[in-house]
Structure 1
């Protein structure tokens, strides 16, 4: 026979799946749930902790336990735009542009994008959303010579589609992922508290001929986004 906390875990999961509570809803207090199930608060807390670990529920310090939003997933294979990732999962992508500047490429940007010292990049800073929920803060650098004459809106809103429409063939990308915590500034953009868990990603994307065309530094909200690997 399953332990009591596992039975409660399964029942709570069933209630979430059956939409007794919607995404973002606050669950009753642990005391009320424990009384409803006829168990101790410790047993109830074990069940809730399992669901938090599984991403079904989320705890908010000083506020309570809530039904977690479904995480957006990115398969770590090939090169796919944020818009394509979010749209493929039935959610509405959008973005807010924070800054858009023409700058002399930094040493790192030169290395990552194969540029010579003194060459220019377009550096844009933005927040990306899925169904109006902020998922990622990113800074993208693009060789300025690559997008001369291209409308700014086409770059900021659907860059990959614009490249494809202009005859470029998008190839592989190289990604590095690591854990960090949100700074006060980034936290304010992502609607989380300072120190919140962040999945940081650096990515260089290439055309099929091997030419790098974009260098991105992204910070994803850890409990709203996940990466997964697929091996063949």
Structure 2
């Protein structure tokens, strides 16, 4: 097995000291110089270890003051389940209601936007083909918990009552219900989650530290003929949300 990078080794050691109760929430950690001497590494290694733990929500940095053990935060549970899509309405609203939280979101839609090559490939259209793009900021009890950028082929929804995801009689109803309104049956979705660091703009919108760990989910809905009808990039901050996948089990 390859040797663990020094900064991860230091991060594990710091995490264990917090778990053992040596430092409690709100406590200030020793200076980087002190920790560097203790672990026999450079200041830069300690800095990377602390940034790694900050991105996970265990520590927090305070400008001009130092690094502290973060106060525990309630993490919002987000259930990813296609069966929830068939219940109608917004799956996000249903998830938050189950947790006793108020779900709201802000959005901005642009119609007839030329799809970038990568998005066009996911939608099965030519690069530059027209699409409807909607950017979302989702909030639970007024706190940002998720970002999403959705793309739908304009050739499918153009001229229909669901061309604007957040406009008309099916505003906010979700992809499955909106597509059903124009006789398109969504049969399945494919999701690919990957961890990465938040981009500066994402961190600002989510109210987290720059470089914080997020889960980037690439989701695409398909109709019964296997045609992509919507694709989205969903960004969820790890420190605030836990993602759970729910799978239906066919009875024998």
Query: What is the CA–CA distance in structure 1 between the aligned matches of 2:27 and 2:110, rounded to whole Å?
Result: 47
Distance 1:87 1:165, change over 3 A: farther
Query: What is the CA–CA distance in structure 2 between the aligned matches of 1:204 and 1:79, rounded to whole Å?
Result: 16
Query: What is the CA–CA distance in structure 1 between the aligned matches of 2:111 and 2:100, rounded to whole Å?
Result: 32
Q: Which residue of 2 aligns with 1:60?
A: 60
* 8 A Cα contact 2:106 2:138, kept in partner: yes
Aligned counterpart in structure 2 of residue 130 of structure 1, from 140, 143, 153: 140
Matches within 5 A, 1:1-232: 29-30=26-27, 59-62=59-62, 65-75=70-80, 80=85, 81-98=91-108, 100-148=110-158, 149-150=160-161, 152=164, 153-154=166-167, 157-160=172-175, 161-230=177-246, 232=249
Query: What is the CA–CA distance in structure 2 between the aligned matches of 1:184 and 1:95, rounded to whole Å?
Result: 20
- Following superposition, the deviation at residue 59 of structure 1 comes to 4.1
Between stretches 189-198 and 99-108, larger displacement belongs to 99-108
Structure 1 unpaired stretches of 5+: 1-8, 13-26, 32-51
Distance 1:74 1:59, change over 3 A: same
| Partner SS for 1:219 | strand
Query: What is the CA–CA distance in structure 2 between the aligned matches of 1:29 and 1:59, rounded to whole Å?
Result: 9
Between stretches 218-227 and 153-162, larger displacement belongs to 153-162
Structure 2 unpaired stretches of 5+: 1-18, 29-52, 63-67, 86-90
- Following superposition, the deviation at residue 115 of structure 1 comes to 1.5
* 8 A Cα contact 1:79 1:170, kept in partner: no
Query: What is the CA–CA distance in structure 2 between the aligned matches of 1:189 and 1:199, rounded to whole Å?
Result: 15
Query: What is the CA–CA distance in structure 1 between the aligned matches of 2:130 and 2:171, rounded to whole Å?
Result: 17
- Following superposition, the deviation at residue 229 of structure 1 comes to 3.9
* TM-score, normalised with respect to structure 1: 0.66
- Following superposition, the deviation at residue 117 of structure 1 comes to 4.4
| Partner SS for 2:96 | helix
Q: Which residue of 1 aligns with 2:4?
A: none
Name the Cα RMSD after superposition: 3.3
Q: How many residues align?
A: 187
Deviation digits for residues 11-62 of structure 1, max 9, x if unmatched?
x9xxxxxxxxxxxxxx97459xxxxxxxxxxxxxxxxxxxx9xx9x954333
* 8 A Cα contact 2:120 2:126, kept in partner: yes
Query: What is the CA–CA distance in structure 1 between the aligned matches of 2:101 and 2:184, rounded to whole Å?
Result: 27
| Partner SS for 1:168 | coil
